[in-house]
Amino acid sequence: MAGDNFSATPSAPVPSRHGSSRNAPANRRRRLILRLLALPAVAIAAYVMFNYGGLRDYLELPQCDSDHAKKWLGQALDPFKFGPTRYGSIKTVSSSKQEVVCNAVLALPNGSDIAIDYSFYWSGSKVNMRYSVPLTGSGSPPPAVPVR
């Protein structure tokens, strides 16, 4: 064993990979504080993205009386010049994960009301809207044709 080159004096201790032991309590405290601050920040960010960032539109269908549904309904009725002044009543006829069926009575600028049936459904990963406008929205029969 004469070929071994060991020194008789002990060498310096090998530093641990986490740093020195006297800084360990400070590091643990710092990590704990970071975790306590980061978890609520992540939760708040997820809430904001879900409710205000449009993430909800990819996860669930809109409710009948939501602002999103009213906006879509207004855009669908624009080509027909049915600019509703207010929404009289909005009812949810049925609701499931695949489809939400609604009925609304809209007040038109000329003073009449119109009833509209509409629904939201999934088409792949996109939300689509179907709507129908009956010929007589007030329930009264159509005007009679004059006889000559």
Write down the pTM of the prediction.
0.54
- Percent of the chain topping pLDDT 90: 5
Both 42 and 99 in a single domain? no
Computed over every residue of the chain, the mean pLDDT equals: 75
Q: Which of 69, 62, 100 is nearest to 84 (CA)?
A: 69
Lowest-confidence segment of 7-11, 35-39, 81-85, 93-97 by average pLDDT = 7-11
Both 69 and 41 in a single domain? no
- Tens of pLDDT, residue by residue over 123-146, are 887 888 898 877 654 555 444 445
The boundaries of the domain holding residue 26 are 21-55
Q: Does residue 145 belong to any structural domain of this protein?
A: no
Mean pLDDT confidence for 20-38: 79
| Total structural domains within the chain | 2
Q: Does residue 68 belong to any structural domain of this protein?
A: yes
Q: Does residue 7 belong to any structural domain of this protein?
A: no
Both 50 and 88 in a single domain? no
CA 37 to each of CA 30, 46, 49, 115: distance values in angstroms, whole numbers, following the listed order: 11, 15, 19, 51
Structure confidence at residue 102 as a pLDDT band (50, 70, 90): very high
pLDDT, residue 101, reads 93
